[in-house]
A and B are shown apart, each in its own frame.
Chain A
């Protein structure tokens, strides 16, 4: 029971880091980016190549995964995405589905279609006993890293100048421009940051979620669930939604394996119908 809870929390934390970027682009910038998983996959494969083939230490591999995805995100944002911000949702969907298909084919071509795992250093394998509980060291590390990131994100968004610029730009682009905020640059930075986080999540999660070319399609719905259920007014909403989803999914697969993914799909549809703005939205908040 406690183990399931623990696994669920680790899984949920991971989902949050993966989906945090999407909750900004989709929720705040109102851009339907179905290709978000592709950045996670890019980070995962970057770490895989560095750690497995070039023998880079695991920690450094994670950092590189973040940087690689962030750079990729920034590049694509500046060259392609900017042209699509103002278009209709249908165009955005078509565009990002196109990107997903391309990324799947490219990874299939370069890395092969089988599922792969990143070599984990021996220090992170096995179990550790904390307060009489057996925990997997790797999952514990995920919880610590993702918890710290969440804290940083929350502080960054509420306490820093960049955070307030972003919130201003999202609330009202025209006024923000009038105040001298470079909205394009803020969005690009945010997009890069979100993609980088996804890449880091992809690298961290390769052990738990697996890494194969159809990753962006397989987890697309999970990311969307996090954002829709969590709502978009804050970081806390998606965070709680991720935890719920993680625990719910792990518990569902453990207790009622026959139902499989039903539970979460049904929950998503019900939430969408019941509260289209997400579960954790304050009244009157935008």
Chain B
């Protein structure tokens, strides 16, 4: 065996290891599943958490894996939300799952079209272009009041049962299970994509576009691809919000939503898919807790939190989970008679 083929084999083994489900991951999803029976009174808030998680997951795809900073991700969320709402309101597509796919498609189309604008320029240009696009879309939704309901929001949405079987109920049981299922499916897809050669190429581009192109990894097509995918995810998240609450408003397109999405992702740490999921749980419960204490000034605490995160350093905050992950990997990787090199990918908010 030559040394290069040995190296190739070692690399392949490491990637197989990386793609394997660790014990912690399995536990995470088991806990999520168990909440269906354990916390039946909390299903409304849990459904909301799932939607935030999906939105943050979509942001993680572009920020954590491709290094694109976006201040206007709410544009796709809102487009998905209005698509799902309009489809249901005018009874064009009654079945929620199909409508959700269309919402995702709407987000993807818009994401694809705008991705060409985002490709150009530096971080700074991207920031402003994404922000500008989101403001533009919000302004559009505001102007076309006859279609979107303007400032009053889209009212009178009547949701059909999911798959024709499960009606949306007042306590959010259907909403939660439906959202969780969607999140799980999309998470599996994202996990697969991130571990694929495409995902690895993205990481290379994020690390250093010049060197990546020098070894034959062209940036443009891959960035367009991931941006479109993330837009589809955000569209689906928006569609879910409309379907589970039977309402949508300009709030779904607002700057605050983009900023909150960033915050959710940052709380959990970028670049490891679970960041958005964990962040959403923390974010929503913190919001609930603070909002009962000081209802109007919740924004102040968000702001303070953001400032503190930056001053303390995002790496350190994302690093909270690292020891836990390492432990789980060790337990999960243990097999009788097999020793494994302790190689762990450096994760958690690498700049």
Contact = CB atoms under 8 A, between A and B. Distances in A.
B17 to A, nearest CB: 30
Contact of A98 (B69, B122, B310): B310
Interface string B125-163: 101110111011001101100000000000000000000
A25 interface: no
A185 interface: no
Interface string B277-307: 0000000000000000000110110111111
B351 A97 contact: no
Interface size on B, as a range, is 35 or more
B152 to A, nearest CB: 18
Interface string B230-270: 00000000000000000000000001000100110010000
A80 interface: yes
Interface stretch (A10-18, A63-71, A233-241, A264-272): A264-272
B143 A266 contact: no
A88 B125 CA distance: 14
Interface residues of A, number: 43
A268 B129 CA distance: 8
A98 B132 contact: no
Contact of A102 (B69, B262, B304): B304
A98 B303 contact: yes
Contacts of B123: 88-90
Given A228-B128, A265-B135, A106 B306 contact: no
Contacts of B120: 272-273, 276
A108 to B, nearest CB: 7
6 closest A-B pairs by beta carbon, nearest first, are A98-B306, A101-B303, A105-B300, A102-B303, A98-B307, A95-B310
Interface of B: 63, 69, 71, 117, 120-125, 127-129, 131-133, 135-136, 139-140, 142-143, 255, 259, 262-263, 266, 296-297, 299-300, 302-307, 309-311, 314, 351
Interface of A: 26, 30, 32, 80, 83-84, 87-95, 97-106, 108-109, 217, 221, 224, 228, 258-262, 265-266, 268-269, 272-273, 276
